[in-house]
Chain A
Amino acid sequence: MTTDDMLLEVRGLKKHFPIRSGLLRRVTGTVKAVDGINFHIKKGETLGLVGESGCGKSTAGRALLRLHEPTAGEVIFNDPELGKVDVTKADRDLLLKLRPNMQIIFQDPFTSLNPRLTVGQIVGEPLEIQKRASGTELKDRVAELLKEVGIRPENMSRYPHAFSGGQRQRIGIARALALNPKLIVCDEPVSALDVSIQAQVLNLLDELQEKYGLSYLFVGHDLSVIEHISDRVAVMYVGYIVEMARTDKLYFSPKHPYTEALLNAIPKADPRLRHRPERLQGDVPSPANPPSGCYFHPRCKYAKDICKAERPPLVDIGDEHFVACHFAQELSLTGVQPLNEIKLEIPAHKKSTKA
């Protein structure tokens, strides 16, 4: 038993996928989907993991649950009963004991529920697997879980096809809650939903976090969603965390050029703005063949010679603000404006009638 408030520490986590080709299926290269990332999550905290498509954020989430076998690194989980355990080295029996505390919610509510099982069977499955309940006890627990996520327990005998995307996502959340986990990896849980439903699901996640003291690793690409839900945010680029800080700090004063570029790409709901943000040039490099030095240098407008040669480490520049950039201290970058600084003006074209 520990009183430590650290729940999860990830050190140097790597997940490489081999590229095989030719007749003998020789390994001719590796896709470094996740290439040595470090972060931690405290109890009751939400860490947002944000990045472009293919940057390895989902793979990272799955690797730490060992849904993908990690290539290297440590995932130290602070289990309430077993104490600090390295998940990556756990054998079958230990893993079986650890799993209930680490669950996952998926992106696509249409493929994450088995169409052949009823809602009751889906939500009750983790309980069955862990032999926590059976018979009427199982039913009662499932009913309770469904109520918790706002699905009426009467719906237990219905099949997933009878539910909308938002409802399905709630069922997925109920399944993840079934084993009373401490940590839930939310793998883009709202990306596939309508905006109106997104807010409902996010609020549900907030409520559940408060009620059960859950910690979330919230993987996403929607910066507004991440800002809303996260206490801290980590920005990933080609398998590597480039910046990690408290949400307000990261959004208001980013220290990495990539973070700045991402934040500038957020569409502004202001029709007066004629200024187009500077777009990021080029494409995301392939994780099978990344550039030298800092992976971001080919696209970075601040890049200097050292950026081509040396890969900057992720360093703490104070107050838990981690940046992997050679010029983190020198650059002055712009983030988003805090809401209270935005002045509300009546737009000029609203004053005068149409010419």
Chain B
Amino acid sequence: MATDATQLPTSKAAATEDVGQIPQWQLMVRRFRRSKLSVSGLYVLIVLYVFMIFSDFLAPYDHNRLDSNYAWAPPSVIGFENGQLVTYKLKQTLDQVRFEWFYEPDLSAPLPIQFFVQGYEYRFLGIIPSRLHLFGVEEGYQINIIGADKDGKDVFSRLMKGSQVSLTLGFIGVIVSVIIGSIVGTASGYFAGAVDNFIQRLIELLRSFPDVPLFLALAAALPMGVPVEVRFFLITLIIALIGWTGLAREVRGKVMSYRASDYTAAAVAAGASHWHIITRHLIPNSLSHIIVVGTLAIPGAIGSETALSYLGLGILPPAVSWGVMLRDAQTIEAITSYPWMLIPVGVLIITVLSFYLLGDGVRDAVDPYA
């Protein structure tokens, strides 16, 4: 009855408060915001991705720059002298008993940290050539804010560079698998019958392979001599090819239930085409579910890339990813004597955890009427 309709707003300010006009996705955003943990996960991820975008600018050195004077150098000591931030030159001595390099900062020889310095050349966002870096020290010395590895490569620089692979590969892999999964799942759920039967049996076949050996077999089959970008692309494909089946099943289920709904029947009764029904009713309704499954799949994909690279079948040196760094950190000596090598593990855990928190929040938010 029109008479029991809520009073329509008269002023424009009130118009924004008319709950009835809020689209469903905005209700979801509101609900998501209520979960503090998920919102903090999102913020952490935003920070991580901002770091990734500016990784070359933030990294003082090329990730493969060797310097034997800094082999296994510990995190630099940072001080404050004469009004500026300084680090110190290192005295490198060989521990005759343990055959390890021993470093001691020479507190009498401060090394001013310079900001906005020129360094190695890179392309910002892959396009704009630049040599600008946030910080650095005098040429010939090195600042390793989280230490250096056995060749004197700066761990921080490698962590930054590695994020370019680790944070994007899983993400892109999931996007690709979401696209494949949505298309196949929608087709399977909508057309049902023989199409559905065929697709479902195919998915069962794909899923009946054990994941890890399949991963390894595919990765081992990749050509070795190809450029880093091509390898990156191929590994993304492997992750996508293995990941889409689960999503396709979930989308199929959703599509089947929406297809049987009365609003779909109303559209059919009005003469709607398959395309109209799929794009107007089925996809928009399944979308929130697709986003949830996708978000929750990202940490798994990041883990897959890391695992592949760790096993030496994913991203290969000289390219770097967090998985490659994990490989560098796997020795007993690294764990006992050079614990900074484990920092990438911490960052990886934080990333994966943040994605899970985000995914949980999104999952709870997509049903705003519940």
Q: Which residues of A contact B (CB under 8 A)?
A: 25, 62, 65, 67, 95-96, 99-100, 102-104, 106-108, 111-118, 122, 125-126, 129-130, 150-152, 154-155, 157-159, 161-164, 166-167, 170, 172, 175-176, 178-179, 200
Contact = CB atoms under 8 A, between A and B. Distances in A.
B262 A179 contact: no
Contacts of A151: 2, 5
Given A114-B284, A150-B1, 8 more contacts: A62-B265, A103-B269, A116-B284, A125-B280, A158-B18, A158-B21, A161-B369, A162-B21
Contacts of B1: 150, 166-167, 170, 200
B263 interface: yes
B22 A159 contact: yes
Nearest to B287: A116
A176 B262 CA distance: 12
Interface stretch (B138-146, B218-226, B270-278, B347-355): B270-278
A106 B265 contact: yes
Most B CB contacts (10 A, CB to CB) among A95, A108, A115, A151 go to A115
Q: Closest 7 A-B residue pairs measured CB to CB?
A: A162-B20, A158-B20, A112-B262, A126-B270, A99-B271, A106-B262, A114-B263
A118 B24 CA distance: 10
Given A129-B271, A155-B5, A158-B21, A116 B262 contact: no
Nearest to A105: B266
A159 B280 contact: no
Given A125-B270, A125-B280, A159 B23 contact: yes
B4 interface: yes
Contacts of B281: 114
A113 B267 contact: no
B19 interface: yes
Given A158-B21, A161-B369, A129 B276 contact: yes
Given A125-B280, A155-B20, A159-B21, A96 B8 contact: no
B285 interface: yes
Contact of A95 (B4, B27, B197, B271): B271
B268 to A, nearest CB: 6
B6 interface: yes
A254 B281 CA distance: 45
Given A152-B8, A162-B6, A167-B1, A114 B270 contact: no
B40 interface: no
Contacts of A125: 266-267, 270, 272, 280
Contacts of A172: 266
11 contacts: A65-B269, A67-B269, A99-B271, A104-B265, A111-B261, A115-B24, A126-B270, A129-B267, A129-B276, A159-B21, A179-B270
Given A114-B285, A152-B5, A167-B5, A100 B263 contact: no
Contacts of A150: 1-2
A126 B270 CA distance: 5
Nearest to B273: A129
Given A99-B271, A151-B2, A111 B23 contact: no
B266 A106 contact: yes
A58 B297 CA distance: 41
Interface in B235-290: 261-263, 265-273, 276, 280-281, 284-285
A116 to B, nearest CB: 5
Nearest to A95: B271
Contact of B272 (A116, A129, A161, A167): A129
B270 A161 contact: no
Interface string B91-132: 000000000000000000000000000000000000000000
Nearest to B19: A162
Nearest to A62: B265
Contacts of A104: 265-266, 269
Contacts of A154: 8
B268 A67 contact: yes
A117 B21 CA distance: 10
A100 B261 CA distance: 20
Contact of B24 (A103, A159, A178): A159
Contacts of B8: 152, 154-155
Contacts of B262: 106-108, 111-112
A164 B270 contact: no
A168 to B, nearest CB: 11
B95 to A, nearest CB: 67
Nearest to B269: A104
